[in-house]
């Protein structure tokens, strides 16, 4: 094998090693996040379209919001596993009250359904 071929092989090996390292690092970052999803329903159990779902980070007090579709579903992603979150739905003067996504809930995708009360 000549010097040029050896240099090319070494360069390719280095590129593949970096790609594998970057993929492992990305997976590690993904393992520190979670998501929450659920359905907003009325008292009779029917899904509520266009309900406002609020997600409050109890550490920073930042609030994110989501509007449900016709199926009443909501979803928040990229949540820290080391932070508790509070969720609440509001629609047409009704509210679900606050529900907590605990740090002790170790599910990668937690499900919290929210039922509206008058």
CATH number of the domain enclosing 43: 2.60.40.1120
pTM: 0.73
Whether 90 and 100 share a structural domain: yes
Whether 71 and 111 share a structural domain: yes
Q: 80-104: buried (b, 16+ CB within 10 Å) or exposed (e) per residue?
A: eeeeebebbbbbeebbbeebebeee
Question: How many domains would you assign to the chain?
Answer: 2
The pLDDT tens digits for 12-36 are 655 555 544 444 444 444 678 999 9
Whether 19 and 62 share a structural domain: no
Whether 111 and 79 share a structural domain: yes
Whether 109 and 54 share a structural domain: yes
- Position 19 scores a pLDDT of 47
């Amino acid at each position: 094998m000549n010097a040029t071929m050896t240099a090319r092989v070494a360069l390719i090996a280095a590129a593949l090693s970096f790609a594998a390292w970057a993929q492992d690092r990305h997976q590690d970052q993904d393992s520190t996040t979670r998501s929450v999803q659920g359905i907003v329903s009325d008292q009779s159990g029917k899904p509520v379209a266009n309900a406002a779902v609020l997600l409050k980070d109890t550490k920073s007090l930042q609030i994110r919001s989501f509007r449900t579709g016709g199926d009443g579903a909501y979803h928040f992603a990229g949540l820290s596993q080391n932070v508790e979150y509070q969720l609440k739905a509001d629609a047409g003067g009704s509210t679900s009250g606050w529900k907590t996504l605990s740090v002790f809930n170790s599910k990668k995708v937690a499900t919290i359904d929210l039922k509206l009360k008058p």
